Amino acid sequence: MNKPIVTDVIFLRQKADITTENDTNVIRDLEDTLAANRERCVGMAANMIGYKKRTVIVSMGFMNLIMNNPVILSKSGEYETEEGCLSLIGTRKTKRYKEIEVEYKDKNFKQQKQKFSGFPAQIVQHEMDHLEGIII
């Protein structure tokens, strides 16, 4: 289901809870809502559509990547950048890392470990911040 984007910062500042295999509706709604916002959005966290769950979706161009309960294992190459967010107005400065390695459970809850660099790495970091209640 295409869900409305949450802009309430009090809700967005709450830390999300572990996603389980019972939360397939969260995954489906993230896919539908990202598809509906395709031209203005490259990624989304579950709390942006009203679920306090640790799931993010990242557009990788040719496909969308679902990450449940992601954890950053390593990061390198700190830099400063400016980002926007569908839940907020305007852009804000933030610190990111050029390369990260992340452990997560995929759409089928299979454990995965993956390295990201450049723009995809930036999106993953932005969406993972949402899970901690951190907004740029």
Q: Which is nearer to Zn ion, 108 or 119 (CB)?
A: 119
**Nearest-CB residue to Zn ion?**
85
Cα angle for residues 86, 45, 121 (degrees, 5° grid): 90
**Residue 127 appears among annotated catalytic residues:** yes
State in angstroms the smallest separation of the CB of 111 from Zn ion. 26
Q: Which residues contact 28 (CB under 8 A, 6 or more apart)?
A: 1
Contacting range for Zn ion; rule: CB under 5 A; set: 24-32, 59-67, 78-86, 95-103 = 78-86
- Nearest one of 68, 2, 65, 6 to 34, comparing CA atoms: 2
**Residue 57 vs 85, nearer CB to Zn ion:** 85
Write out the catalytic residue numbers. Answer: 127
